[in-house]
C-alpha cells in the first residue's frame, strides 16, 4: 500500500473529528476489563467572552493527552466541557456593543431588557471558544456541555448559598472592599493585579493643635485621600514623636482636629516615620482605625468622584482632586517636599483601572471554617499538586484566608437569592419568592429581591459536582465524582482550585470524607510566554493565535510542539517558528509509515521477540518494550514532556535512523530469509508507536492506523478506542542492547571522524578496529556487514592488537580503538592547520563555559536546567578537544 508523499492536515482533521463524535467515541463506555475503573476530568471553563489563546491550547492538549491515554487503557472516561458566564467581562463586552451599535446604555434599557441582550450575545458568540477546542482535537463529551448560568447550575448556586446561610456562614455587613470605579462593582482581593509604576511621595505638614507654628510632617502617595483622615500614626518607640502621642494635629483644608496615636505597624524608616490614617480608603488604615477606635469616613462616590465629605473638592475625580489638593497645599505652604518613587499600584484585573478601597455594604462568606478541611486534604496527601512547589501557594492562601466578598454590583450573573420584607428583614430561598407574599419568618409582605449578583467564582467553585447534576443525586454524580485530574493555571490556584476543594468538602457531605475532595491531582501547567519572555496579551500585541498555527501546521504539530517545548514546572518561550519542530516530527512519522506500508507485502511473522531473526530485530523490540514501559509510566505520572521526548527519540533515532536503515537490504534481497521477521517487526513497531503517539497527535495517527490495518488485511475500529500497548510478546534482551550499542558507537565514531577531518560522507574509507576484548571483537566481526554499510567502509579489519597506520585518524568506541585511513588525496598539512584552528575554537568554548560555571550568581540564579546544559556542553567540548588533540598528534 502506498500513502501520499505528504500528510495534509486540512484533508483529515475536521472529517475525522466529526466521525469520532458521531460514533460516540467521546462518551464514557464501560471498562472492558471488568475492573470498573473510571477517570473524570473537568475542563477549567473558559470565559464565554474568550477566544482560544496559547495557554488554553497547552492546557487543552494536556487534558486531552490524559483522557485519550486513560480511554485507551480501558477506563470509563469522562471529560466535561463548558464555559463560565464571566460576569464582569461579559457585561462589559455587551455594554460596549450596545453603546457602539445602538447608542444606548444598560440603565436606559433596564435590567430585564439588558439581560435579554446578554443572552442574545451569548447565543451568538458564546460557543466560539468551544468550537476552537474542537479544532485542537479535544475529545470532550459534548453532550454534557455546561454553562454556569444555565438553569440547573443556577439551582445549584442557590442551593449552596442557602446551605451556607442556614449555617451562618453567609453574612451582610459594612466592610472595606476593593472597588472598581469604572465597572462600579466590588471585587475580591484575588481579582487584583499589581503593576509597578512611577509615582510621587508627597511630604505634607499637618499643623499641631497645641503648638501654633509647629507641624508634624507625614509622607503619602495619596494626598487626595487626606480629606478622609481621622488620625496620624507613629511608632511607639520612635523618640522623635513620643511627646506628640495623645495630642492632636489639624487636618488641612477642613481644619478638623485628628489624634496622633502610637501604632506598632508603622515603619519608622518610611518617609518621616509619621503616616496618616484613612480608615475608609486603605486596608492597613482600616485595621489601625479599628484598633484605636477612630471614625471611618468615606469620601468617594461609586464612580470615583469625591463626595461632600471631600470638601472643598467635592465632585472632582480622583486625578483632578489630587492636582487641586497638591496645589492648595503649596499655596498654604504645607507641602514640604516631593520625591519621585517607584511603587506597586493595585489594578482591577478586568478593567485595568486602579482599585479604590471603599466602605460598602456587601455579602461575605466566612472562610475559616471552610478552609480547614481543604488544608487537611493536602497535608494528608489526599490532594497532590504537580509540580509540588505549588502546594505552598495553596496552603499559604488558605492558612491566611480572609472572608470572601461574594456580592457584585452587576446585572449579569446569579442574582443573590435573598428577599426582604418592608422592614428590610432578609431571607434566603432556593425558589423565587413572590413580591407581596408573606415573609417566611416575619409574615410581612416581601417587597424586593437583593439587587446584587454573586461573584463569578460562586458558581464555578461548584463546577466538579454541579456539572454532574448536583444537588440532585444523579447517576453521573455517583459514578464520576470525585474526579481524578485537574489541569489549570497557577494564577487561579486560590481563585478557583482552593475554593473548589472547600466546596467539595462542604457540599458533598453525604460522601465519606476521603471522597469529598473533588480531585486527586492538580496539574499546574506552564505559562506560555513570547520569544522575549513576556506574557502574551492583546495590549502588548505579542500573542500567537493557536488557530492560525493550526491552519499553518496542523493541530497535531501544534499539540506536539507545545508539549515538546514545555518542561514540567517551567515557563516556556514561544515563537511561531517553534511549531516547525512538531511539524517536522510529523513528517518523519509519515515517511516512516510510508516505508513500512510499501514493504509489508509477503510473509510476515507476529513481530514478537520470539520471531526476531537478527541483532537489529532483537534490539528494536527490546527498545520498543522499554519505550512502552517508560511512556506509560511517564503519562501515569503526568510527565508529558518526558513521555513526548522518549517517543521522539525512539521514533526518530531508534526506529528511523537505525532500524529502518539496517533492515532495508532485507526487503530488496529476495533471497534473504529474514524478510518475514523484518516485515512482522515493522508492522508491530509502527502499530505500537501509533498507539503511543495517539494521545499527542490524534489525527495523523488515526489516519495511519487505518492505513496499517488495510495493509495487514485487518478491519479495525478507531485507534482512539483501541487498546494501549502493554508490550505483550516483547522481551528486553540485554545482550542485544549491549551488542547494538557497540555497533552504533563504531558507526558513529567513523562518522565523527569524517566530520572532524572534513572527509566527504560519501567517500569509501578503510578502517582498522583494534578490540582487545573477545566479546567486542566477536561482535564487530559478526556484524561487519552492518558497520561497513552504514559507515561506508570498503576496507574493514578487526584485530586484537594493532598499530595506528600512517595517515589515519583515530577514534574510540567502547573499549575499541578505531583507525580510519583517510586516503592519499588528503592534504595532511592543510588538515593539521584546520584541526589546530578547531582546537583553538574548542578551547575558547571551554573557557567561556568555565567562566559561566565559575560565576556563583549564574549557578545560583539561572534555571537548574540551563546550568546543567552548560555543564553538559562543557563535557562535550572536552571530549571533542581530546579526540582532536589525539588526531593532531598522530598526524
**Model pLDDT for residues 288-312, shown as the tens digit of each residue:** 999 999 999 999 998 999 999 999 9
Q: pLDDT band for position 764 (50/70/90)?
A: very high
Residue with cell 464571566: 86
- Least confident segment among 372-386, 687-701, 792-806: 792-806
Question: Residue 726: which of 28, 72, 66, 75 has the closest Cα?
Answer: 72
Question: Residue 148: which of 167, 110, 122, 168 has the closest Cα?
Answer: 122
Give the rounded distance of the alpha carbon of 870 from its chain centre. 26
Instruction: Name the residue with higher pLDDT: 351 or 397.
Output: 397
DSSP string for 176-202: EEEEETTTTEEE-GGGEEEEEEEEEEE
User: What pLDDT is stored for residue 891 in this prediction?
Assistant: 66
Burial call 434-448: b when 16+ CB within 10 Å, e when fewer: eeeeebeeeeeebee
d(CA 686, CA 651): 9
CB-based contacts of 164-171 (< 8 A; 24+ apart in sequence): 164/365, 164/506, 165/418, 165/428, 166/428, 168/366, 169/365, 169/366, 169/369, 169/370, 170/363, 170/364, 170/365, 170/366, 170/406, 170/428, 171/363, 171/364, 171/366
DSSP, res 425: -
d(CA 468, CA 461): 13
User: What pLDDT is stored for residue 539 in this prediction?
Assistant: 63
Taking each helix axis from N to C end, the angle separating 615-636 and 734-757, rounded to the nearest 10 degrees, works out to 100
User: What pLDDT is stored for residue 193 in this prediction?
Assistant: 86
> pLDDT digit string (tens) for 159-184?
999 999 999 999 999 888 899 998 88
Taking each helix axis from N to C end, the angle separating 580-598 and 555-565, rounded to the nearest 10 degrees, works out to 120
- Least confident segment among 198-212, 662-676, 746-760: 662-676
- For the chain, the farthest-separated pair of C-alpha atoms sits apart, in whole angstroms, at 115
Q: Any idea how long the chain is?
A: 891
Q: What does the mean pLDDT of the chain come to? A: 93
User: What pLDDT is stored for residue 189 in this prediction?
Assistant: 77
Q: How many CA atoms lie within 13 A of 310 on its CB side?
A: 25
Instruction: Name the residue with higher pLDDT: 690 or 837.
Output: 690
pLDDT higher than threshold 70 for residue 67? yes
First to last CA, the chain: 52
User: What pLDDT is stored for residue 583 in this prediction?
Assistant: 97
User: What pLDDT is stored for residue 446 in this prediction?
Assistant: 97
Instruction: Name the residue with higher pLDDT: 671 or 35.
Output: 35
> pLDDT digit string (tens) for 687-744?
999 999 999 999 999 999 999 999 999 989 999 999 999 999 999 999 999 999 999 9
> pLDDT digit string (tens) for 555-580?
999 999 999 999 887 888 999 999 99
Alpha helices in 725-827 (DSSP H): 734-757, 774-782, 784-791
d(CA 878, CA 843): 8
pLDDT higher than threshold 80 for residue 140? yes
User: What pLDDT is stored for residue 538 in this prediction?
Assistant: 65
DSSP, res 226: G
Mean pLDDT of 358-369: 94
Record the cell numbers describing residue 32, joined without a space. 472492558
Residue with cell 499553518: 552
Q: Answer positive or negative: Cα dihedral of 222, 227, 228, 230.
A: positive
d(CA 521, CA 508): 18
Question: Residue 698: which of 5, 79, 17 has the closest Cα?
Answer: 17
> What share of the chain in percent tops pLDDT 90?
79
Q: pLDDT band for position 351 (50/70/90)?
A: confident
Question: Residue 190: which of 181, 178, 182, 180 has the closest Cα?
Answer: 178
d(CA 581, CA 577): 8
Question: What beta strand segments (E) does 4-59 contain?
Answer: 38-42
pLDDT higher than threshold 90 for residue 828? no
> What share of the chain in percent tops pLDDT 70?
99
Amino acid at each position: 500500500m502506498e500513502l501520499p508523499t505528504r500528510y495534509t492536515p486540512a484533508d483529515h482533521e475536521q472529517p475525522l473529528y466529526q466521525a469520532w463524535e458521531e460514533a460516540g467515541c467521546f462518551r464514557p463506555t464501560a471498562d472492558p476489563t471488568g475492573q470498573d475503573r473510571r477517570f473524570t476530568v473537568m475542563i477549567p471553563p473558559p470565559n464565554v467572552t474568550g477566544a482560544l489563546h496559547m495557554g488554553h491550547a497547552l492546557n487543552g492538549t494536556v487534558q486531552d493527552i490524559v483522557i485519550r491515554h486513560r480511554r485507551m487503557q480501558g477506563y470509563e472516561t469522562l471529560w466535561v466541557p463548558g464555559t463560565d458566564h464571566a460576569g464582569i467581562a461579559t457585561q462589559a463586552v455587551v455594554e460596549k456593543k450596545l453603546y457602539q451599535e445602538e447608542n444606548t446604555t444598560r440603565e436606559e434599557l433596564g435590567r430585564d431588557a439588558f439581560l435579554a441582550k446578554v443572552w442574545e450575545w451569548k447565543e451568538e458568540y458564546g460557543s466560539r471558544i468551544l468550537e476552537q477546542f474542537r479544532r485542537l482535537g479535544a475529545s470532550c463529551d459534548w453532550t454534557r456541555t455546561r454553562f454556569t448560568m444555565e438553569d440547573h447550575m443556577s439551582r445549584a448556586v442557590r442551593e449552596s448559598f442557602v446551605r451556607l446561610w442556614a449555617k451562618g456562614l453567609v453574612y451582610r455587613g459594612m466592610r472595606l472592599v476593593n472597588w472598581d470605579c469604572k465597572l462600579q462593582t466590588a471585587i475580591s482581593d484575588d481579582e487584583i493585579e499589581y503593576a509597578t509604576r512611577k509615582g510621587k511621595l508627597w511630604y505634607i505638614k499637618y499643623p499641631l493643635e497645641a503648638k501654633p507654628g509647629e507641624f508634624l510632617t507625614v509622607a503619602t502617595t495619596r494626598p487626595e485621600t487626606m480629606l478622609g483622615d481621622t488620625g496620624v500614626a507613629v511608632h511607639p518607640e520612635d523618640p522623635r514623636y513620643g511627646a506628640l502621642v495623645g495630642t492632636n494635629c489639624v487636618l488641612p483644608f477642613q481644619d478638623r482636629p485628628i489624634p496622633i496615636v502610637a501604632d506598632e505597624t508603622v515603619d519608622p524608616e518610611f518617609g518621616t516615620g509619621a503616616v496618616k490614617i484613612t480608615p475608609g480608603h486603605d486596608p492597613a488604615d482600616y485595621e489601625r482605625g479599628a484598633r484605636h477606635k477612630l471614625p471611618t469616613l468615606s469620601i468617594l462616590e461609586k464612580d470615583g468622584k469625591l463626595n461632600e465629605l471631600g470638601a472643598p473638592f467635592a465632585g472632582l475625580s480622583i486625578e483632578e482632586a489630587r492636582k487641586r489638593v497638591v496645589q492648595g497645599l503649596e499655596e498654604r505652604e504645607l507641602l514640604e517636599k516631593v520625591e519621585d518613587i517607584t511603587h506597586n499600584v493595585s489594578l482591577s484585573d478586568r478593567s485595568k483601572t486602579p482599585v479604590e478601597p471603599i466602605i460598602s455594604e456587601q455579602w461575605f462568606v466566612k472562610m475559616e471554617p471552610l478552609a480547614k478541611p481543604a488544608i487537611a486534604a493536602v497535608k494528608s496527601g489526599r490532594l497532590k499538586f504537580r509540580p509540588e512547589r505549588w502546594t505552598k501557594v495553596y496552603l499559604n492562601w488558605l492558612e491566611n484566608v480572609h472572608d470572601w466578598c461574594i456580592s457584585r454590583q452587576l446585572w449579569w450573573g446569579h442574582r443573590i437569592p435573598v428577599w426582604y420584607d418592608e422592614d428590610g428583614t432578609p431571607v434566603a430561598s432556593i425558589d423565587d419568592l413572590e413580591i407581596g407574599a408573606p415573609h417566611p419568618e416575619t409574615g410581612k409582605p416581601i417587597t424586593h429581591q437583593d439587587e446584587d449578583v454573586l461573584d463569578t467564582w460562586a458558581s464555578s467553585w461548584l463546577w466538579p459536582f454541579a456539572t454532574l447534576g448536583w444537588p440532585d443525586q444523579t447517576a453521573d454524580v455517583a459514578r464520576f465524582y470525585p474526579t481524578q485530574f485537574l489541569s489549570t493555571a497557577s494564577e487561579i490556584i486560590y481563585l478557583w482550585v482552593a475554593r473548589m476543594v472547600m466546596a467539595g468538602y462542604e457540599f458533598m457531605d453525604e460522601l465519606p470524607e476521603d471522597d469529598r475532595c473533588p480531585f486527586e491531582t492538580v496539574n499546574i501547567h506552564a505559562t506560555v510566554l513570547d520569544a522575549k519572555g513576556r506574557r502574551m496579551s492583546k495590549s502588548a500585541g505579542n500573542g500567537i493565535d493557536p488557530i492560525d498555527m493550526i491552519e499553518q501546521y496542523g493541530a497535531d504539530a501544534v499539540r506536539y510542539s507545545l508539549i515538546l517545548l514545555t518542561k514540567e514546572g517551567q515557563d516556556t518561550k514561544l515563537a511561531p517558528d517553534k511549531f516547525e519542530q512538531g511539524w517536522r516530527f510529523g513528517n518523519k512519522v509519515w515517511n516512516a509509515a510510508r516505508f513500512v506500508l510499501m514493504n509489508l507485502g509477503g510473509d510476515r511473522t507476529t513481530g514478537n521477540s520470539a520471531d526476531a531473526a537478527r541483532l537489529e530485530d532483537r534490539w528494536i523490540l527490546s527498545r520498543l518494550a522499554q519505550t512502552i514501559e517508560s511512556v506509560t509510566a511517564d503519562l501515569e505520572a503526568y510527565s508529558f514532556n518526558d513521555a513526548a521526548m522518549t517517543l521522539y527519540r525512539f521514533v526518530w533515532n531508534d526506529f528511523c535512523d537505525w532500524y529502518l536503515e539496517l533492515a532495508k537490504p532485507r526487503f530488496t534481497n529476495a533471497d534473504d530469509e529474514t524478510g518475514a521477521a523484518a516485515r512482522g517487526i515493522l508492522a508491530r513497531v509502527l502499530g505500537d508507536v501509533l498507539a503511543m503517539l495517539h494521545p499527542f497527535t490524534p489525527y495523523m495517527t488515526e489516519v495511519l492506523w487505518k492505513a496499517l490495518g488495510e495493509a495487514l488485511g485487518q478491519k479495525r475500529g478507531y485507534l482512539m478506542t483501541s487498546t494501549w500497548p502493554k508490550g505483550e510478546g516483547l522481551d528486553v534482551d540485554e545482550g542485544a542492547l549491549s551488542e547494538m550499542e557497540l555497533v552504533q558507537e563504531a558507526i558513529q565514531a567513523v562518522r565523527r571522524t569524517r566530520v572532524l577531518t572534513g572527509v566527504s560522507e560519501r567517500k569509501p574509507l578503510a578502517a582498522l578496529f583494534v578490540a582487545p576484548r573477545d566479546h567486542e571483537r566477536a561482535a564487530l566481526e559478526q556484524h561487519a556487514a552492518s558497520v561497513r554499510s552504514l559507515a561506508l567502509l570498503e576496507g574493514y579489519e578487526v584485530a586484537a592488537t594493532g598499530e595506528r597506520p600512517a595517515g589515519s585518524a583515530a577514534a574510540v568506541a567502547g573499549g575499541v580503538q578505531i583507525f580510519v585511513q583517510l586516503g592519499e588525496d588528503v592534504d595532511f598539512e592543510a588538515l593539521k592547520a584546520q584541526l589546530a584552528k578547531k582546537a583553538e575554537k574548542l578551547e575558547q568554548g571551554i573557557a567561556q563555559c568555565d567562566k559561566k560555571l565559575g560565576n556563583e550568581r549564574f549557578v545560583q540564579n539561572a534555571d537548574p536546567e540551563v546550568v546543567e546544559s552548560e555543564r553538559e556542553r562543557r563535557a562535550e567540548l572536552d571530549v571533542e578537544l581530546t579526540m582532536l588533540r589525539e588526531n593532531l598528534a598522530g598526524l
